[in-house]
Structure 1
Amino acid sequence: MRTLYLDCFSGISGDMFIGALIDAGGDSTLLEEELQKLNICEEYKLSWIKVVKNGISSTKFDVELTETVDHAGGHQHDHKHNHKHEDVDHNHEHEHSDHHEHSHHHHHSHRSYQDIVKLIDGSQLSQEVKETSLSIFRKIGEAEGLIHGISLEKVHFHEVGAVDSIIDIVGASILINKLEIQKIKSSPVCVGAGKVHIDHGIYPIPAPATLEILKGVPLQQSNIKSELTTPTGAAIVSVLSEEFCTVPSMTVQSVGYGAGTKDFDKHPNVLRVIIGEEN
């Protein structure tokens, strides 16, 4: 049984997950080609580079947004801006003090849950990839709806609906499919500690939507005062993991490290993935 084990000792985000799978042998060129089936490739550029985190060589995956039409009002952007300046695929609730950045985020924040479902359903992606992607998005949509007290149909994804999260979730589904993963297991999930600034004020970490998504998932205590797990990362691990445990009995075939952007003194900020044959 070909198993993927997620070692979330420094949390998990969508871009860390994709970085780790590429690092473990996932085909980045094929990933790029498959993502073109969403027909939004004029909205982004992908990059993946090797970085060293506290002595560990890892892959940093990024989605850079390019000229984009605002889905609410048709504004055009001519600038390019690297959307992921943290190790998160942006918590949808983060508030940004930088005005330029805040307005930029705003213009990417109007894809509704329904829009995303139509986008994925209407694509030429394989049925398995569609189903995996939609189940992850549904998990986030339901959590958002619950937190804000609205129905799934009324959920408008904020940053979570931005292009980078669509890429992270669909990209994750593509790589799992192409790596022929049959089973996914995970360690307990590290979420970090401290507080986070979100649209409605200052909240404890994990942010409300992240915590809602992680219901039923064992969390791991951490003294790191930072948000280590994002809604997208939480949804990936929550939807896909069949079991939460220490490393299972397996013959290891490949190991990958996906880097976050933040650096911590004595702690490599990476997601480790192990692919192997379970005994």
Structure 2
Amino acid sequence: MKTLYLDTFSGISGDMVLGLLVDLGVPLEAIEAELAKLPVPGYRLGAARQSRRGIAGTQVTVAVEEQHHHRTWSDIDAMLATSSLKTGPREVARRIFKRIGVAEAAVHGVPLEAVHFHEVGAVDSIVDIVGAAVGLDLLGAGRIVCAPLPLSSGTVSCAHGVFPLPAPATLEILRGLPVVDGHSDQELVTPTGAAIAAEIAEFAPFPDLILERVGYGVGSRDLPDRPNLLRGILGRAAASAGLERDTVTLLETHLDDSTPEVLGYLMERLLSEGALDVAFSPLQMKKNRPGVRLTAVAKMEDTDRLARLILRQSSAIGIRTSTCQRLKLRREAATVQTEFGQVQVKLLFEGTNLLRIAPEYESCRALASASRRPLPEIYRIVEQAADKKRLEHEGKSR
């Protein structure tokens, strides 16, 4: 699988993403052809080789004739929704704009539909966001990984006046995502750049790759302490081919004063609130007390919410968290037909190869209850039906 790693050592902005994509080989003309499908006149795209502190890359500029550029989120979303853009890039662009809109609504205390974009509503920002969505589709990377984003201190001037850095909208956009101190008083991460990264990439360590290409998107400024570049590293997965990968948070705490009833209820709540997995394991704790280790697996954006739930619903007074990667099989939901009715199953794939079909316990239990048959018998019947489905799938894939 083709993988793109975004090395954000000098931040990220919409124009830097566009420059990077062109530097990696995406034809600017192909991006322009898709952008021409939008009812946004009065601009001209250009690309040129530039260097920052001795490193060369591509800078994409948008020359704009338009002066008045206040648009609402609803205006932009409707424009994209009714456009003839390809479905994939169109929906990515809509997600990016919505993420910015939700952040602006939170900052200004207004409904999403009432959000007026100023800088982000300008033609050049529309071109940056939609162009990035189009360019990423043309690049064809099946996986995009991003480094933690470097945040700055100081102030920045915008349509509303002088704002602190990081810009309030940038912070809202990056809720639940990893950031680091950028050690800079210049704006390194713009709201547009933050939203693009948040919507198109997973935040994880550098992936195992067979390196193929390196590109640089050149920013509009010459920073005093670093080259103003967005580096992109493109390659093929070197290992674990066919497996999916994501990044999760492990939440862990040790408990020696909780009852089984409380722990059982806590597990139910965690799973119902979005935990990916929850487990208890026995411990021998201080003062010779038998205890329990609680381990929960969570999506990164759910970490704080689930940690707060554990602290409120148990006797825990602290939660340890760590971030790790998961390698996993791709799964699809399906049903198989048995003599007693339909049963839900999971199809488990390694790449396009169907490895196995796993019956869903709750569905099997419901069928066992309805048919008054033993659960083990239902499992055997479902597994036989699943095996037929697997053979049908293998026949179609040949």
Task: With the length of structure 2 as denominator, give the TM-score of the two structures.
Answer: 0.58
Matches within 5 A, 1:200-215: 200-215=160-175
Other-structure match for 1:145: 105
Other-structure match for 1:278: 237
- Give the Cα–Cα distance (whole angstroms) in 1 for the partners of residues 158 and 15 of structure 2: 21
Structure 1 counterpart of 2:55, one-letter code: I
Structure 1 counterpart of 2:12, one-letter code: I
Question: Is structure 2 residue 39 aligned with structure 1 residue 48?
Answer: no
In structure 1, which of residues 246, 257, 262 is the aligned counterpart of residue 216 of structure 2?
257
Alignment deviations for residues 158-196 of structure 1 (CA, whole Å, 9 cap, x no partner)? 111111111111101111111111111111111222222
Structure 1 counterpart of 2:85, one-letter code: L
What are structure 1's unaligned runs of at least 5 residues?
A: 69-103
Contact 1:11 1:192 (C-alpha < 8 Å) held by counterparts: no
Other-structure match for 1:4: 4
Contact 2:118 2:159 (C-alpha < 8 Å) held by counterparts: no
How far residue 223 of structure 1 moved from its aligned partner, in angstroms, is 2.0
Higher relative contact order (CA 8 A, sep 6+): 1
Contact 1:25 1:254 (C-alpha < 8 Å) held by counterparts: no
Aligned-residue identity in percent: 45
Question: Is structure 2 residue 189 aligned with structure 1 residue 229?
Answer: yes
Contact 1:251 1:277 (C-alpha < 8 Å) held by counterparts: yes
Contact 1:218 1:244 (C-alpha < 8 Å) held by counterparts: no
Other-structure match for 2:114: 154
Alignment deviations for residues 217-270 of structure 1 (CA, whole Å, 9 cap, x no partner)? 21121222100111100000111112332x211011211101112112341110
- Give the Cα–Cα distance (whole angstroms) in 2 for the partners of residues 157 and 169 of structure 1: 14
Matches within 5 A, 1:86-105: 104=67
- Give the Cα–Cα distance (whole angstroms) in 2 for the partners of residues 153 and 225 of structure 1: 33
Other-structure match for 1:32: 32
Structure 1 residues 26, 141: closer, same or farther in 2, change over 3 A? same
Structure 1 counterpart of 2:222, one-letter code: D
How far residue 123 of structure 1 moved from its aligned partner, in angstroms, is 1.3
SS of residue paired to 2:188: coil
Structure 2 counterpart of 1:179, one-letter code: L
Task: With the length of structure 1 as denominator, give the TM-score of the two structures.
Answer: 0.82
Other-structure match for 2:63: 64
Contact 2:50 2:56 (C-alpha < 8 Å) held by counterparts: yes
- Give the Cα–Cα distance (whole angstroms) in 2 for the partners of residues 62 and 111 of structure 1: 21
Other-structure match for 1:81: none
Structure 1 residues 64, 273: closer, same or farther in 2, change over 3 A? same
- Give the Cα–Cα distance (whole angstroms) in 1 for the partners of residues 38 and 119 of structure 2: 18
Contact 1:54 1:266 (C-alpha < 8 Å) held by counterparts: no
- Give the Cα–Cα distance (whole angstroms) in 1 for the partners of residues 10 and 94 of structure 2: 26
Matches within 5 A, 1:177-196: 177-196=137-156
Alignment deviations for residues 184-219 of structure 1 (CA, whole Å, 9 cap, x no partner)? 111111122222234555432101001110112211
Structure 2 counterpart of 1:272, one-letter code: R
Structure 2 counterpart of 1:16, one-letter code: M
How far residue 130 of structure 1 moved from its aligned partner, in angstroms, is 0.9
Larger radius of gyration: 2
Other-structure match for 2:207: 248
Other-structure match for 2:179: 219
Alignment deviations for residues 61-104 of structure 1 (CA, whole Å, 9 cap, x no partner)? 111112x4xxxxxxxxxxxxxxxxxxxxxxxxxxxxxxxxxxx4
- Give the Cα–Cα distance (whole angstroms) in 2 for the partners of residues 202 and 14 of structure 1: 21
Structure 2 counterpart of 1:255, one-letter code: V
In structure 1, which of residues 246, 262, 269 is the aligned counterpart of residue 228 of structure 2?
269
The alignment covers a number of residue pairs equal to 238
SS of residue paired to 1:124: coil
What are structure 2's unaligned runs of at least 5 residues?
A: 239-398
SS of residue paired to 2:116: coil
